[in-house]
Amino acid sequence: MFEELKEKALREISEAQDIAQLERIRVNYLGRKGILTEQMRSIGKLPPQERPRVGQLLNELKQIVEQALEERKKLLEIEEEKKNLQKLWVDVTLPGAIKKIGHLHPISRVLEEIETIFVSMGFKVVEGPEIEDAWHNFDALNTPEWHPARDMHDSFYLVDKLLRTHTSPVQIRTMLSEKPPIAIVSPGRVYRRDYDATHLPMFTQVEGLYVDENVSVAHLKYTLEVFVKRMFGPERRIRLKPSYFPFTEPSFEVDVSCGICNGEGCPSCKYTGWLEILGAGMVHPNVFRNVGYDPEKYTGFAFGMGVERIAMLKYRIKDIRDFVRNDERFLECF
């Protein structure tokens, strides 16, 4: 009689999926109006001789059901705890969140190298404004109105100023604020309306200026030779070719011997054996006059180099735009 009831109760208990469901089963059998409770109550209606036996059976069944409920509850509690833990689970074998450590941009590195070389030769590092006026950028540098660099198409003009097209105005600023002997290098950004594989609208230059009595082309050549050998290697040579800048006379284009063919001629140097690296010359007497220096007393040399160009030659980079693309695959190479 109770076998069927027992099996049903035990099956329901073993199939309960959570504690709430188990509780409903408990109430269904053992609650105030539960199946077993009702059965207990109805014992009184049985013939007296049957009451003890049925009572005993019912008590046993009650105990069995209570025990099954208790065991199932423990199991479900463990499972629920496991589920909660899974929500907080941390897989300690996963790779961590790696914080990449940055480093200087190749241009900053080359710039520091250039500065270090010139500082070791007694040059001082000075800076000037990127927003210049036409007088410092052009007029004081003996750059006449007709010069193409002054063209609106070549420069970025602001209302009454412009973004400097070269670092040469720092020559003027330094000569106005200091007295000879002057030996400075001036690094910084310059701006021109150019953009292709070898030109950026914003790029970096280093200006050099040495003013004293009796400064000659020999000083210029020696200084640049030392620079080139330290920058590119002791086997490299330089050569000066005549050139033109309004603010120097004579003016030179300075070449460095090709590092790939050692001056023999190869595709890299277009079979000339030489690579152009900077412009230079002896400070024009008119520039001295413009800053109130006596050109009979003072002479000097000046040079200006493009840092991106130096970096391209040093690291054999083909496209100048790689410096500003912010592609980590490129930047990680330095």
**Site for ligand PHE, rule CB under 6 A:** 166, 168, 245, 248, 279-281, 302-304
- Residue closer to ligand PHE by CB (options 263, 281) is 281
Compute the least distance from the CB of residue 211 to ligand PHE, in Å: 12
Q: Per-residue b/e over 183-217, b at no fewer than 16 CB within 10 Å?
A: bbbbbbebbbeeeeeeebeebbbbbbbbbeeebee
**Cβ neighbours, 10 Å, residue 71:** 12
In the bound state, the residue with its beta carbon closest to ligand PHE is 304
Compute the least distance from the CB of residue 302 to ligand PHE, in Å: 4
Compute the least distance from the CB of residue 102 to ligand PHE, in Å: 30
Helix 19-30, helix 2-15: angle, nearest 10: 160
Compute the least distance from the CB of residue 232 to ligand PHE, in Å: 19
> Would you put residue 179 in left (φ > 0), alpha (ψ -120 to 50) or beta?
beta
Residues ≥6 apart with Cβ < 8 Å to 271: 265
Compute the least distance from the CB of residue 268 to ligand PHE, in Å: 23
- Residue closer to ligand PHE by CB (options 65, 141) is 141
Residues ≥6 apart with Cβ < 8 Å to 296: none
- Residue closer to ligand PHE by CB (options 29, 288) is 288
Sort strands 124-125 and 182-191 into parallel, antiparallel or unpaired.
Answer: parallel
Residues ≥6 apart with Cβ < 8 Å to 126: 170, 174, 184, 185, 186
- Residue closer to ligand PHE by CB (options 110, 277) is 277
- Residue closer to ligand PHE by CB (options 244, 271) is 244
- Residue closer to ligand PHE by CB (options 263, 279) is 279
Compute the least distance from the CB of residue 197 to ligand PHE, in Å: 19
* Residue owning tokens 């077993």: 36
